[in-house]
A and B are shown apart, each in its own frame.
Chain A
Amino acid sequence: GIQVEQSPPDLILQEGANSTLRCNFSDSVNNLQWFHQNPWGQLINLFYIPSGTKQNGRLSATTVATERYSLLYISSSQTTDSGVYFCAPRDNYGQNFVFGPGTRLSVLP
Chain B
Amino acid sequence: GAVVSQHPSWVICKSGTSVKIECRSLDFQATTMFWYRQFPKQSLMLMATSNEGSKATYEQGVEKDKFLINHASLTLSTLTVTSAHPEDSSFYICSAESGRTYNEQFFGPGTRLTVL
User: How many B residues are at the interface, by size bracket?
Assistant: 20 to 34
B46 closest partner in A (C-beta)? A96
- Contact call B103/A31, Cβ cutoff below 8 A: yes
Q: B41, B43, B104, B109: which contacts A100 (Cβ < 8 A)?
A: B43
- Contact call B93/A86, Cβ cutoff below 8 A: no
- Contact call A33/B104, Cβ cutoff below 8 A: yes
Q: Tell me which residues from 58 to 109 in chain A have a Cβ below 8 Å from any Cβ of chain B.
A: 86, 88, 90, 95-102, 104
- Contact call A41/B110, Cβ cutoff below 8 A: yes
Contacting residues, chain A, for B49 (C-beta < 8 A): 95-96
- Contact call B106/A45, Cβ cutoff below 8 A: yes
Interface string of A39-52 (1 = CB under 8 A from B): 01111010010000
Q: A48-B102, A95-B49 are in contact. Are A101 and B93 (CB under 8 A)?
A: no
18 additional contacts, CB 8 Å, given A45-B2, A90-B103, A101-B43?
Answer: A33-B105, A41-B112, A42-B107, A45-B105, A45-B107, A48-B102, A86-B43, A86-B44, A95-B32, A96-B46, A96-B49, A97-B46, A97-B105, A99-B36, A99-B45, A100-B43, A101-B42, A104-B41
Q: Which residues of chain B have a CB within 8 Å of any CB of chain A? A: 2, 32, 34, 36, 38, 41-46, 49, 91, 93, 95, 101-107, 109-110, 112
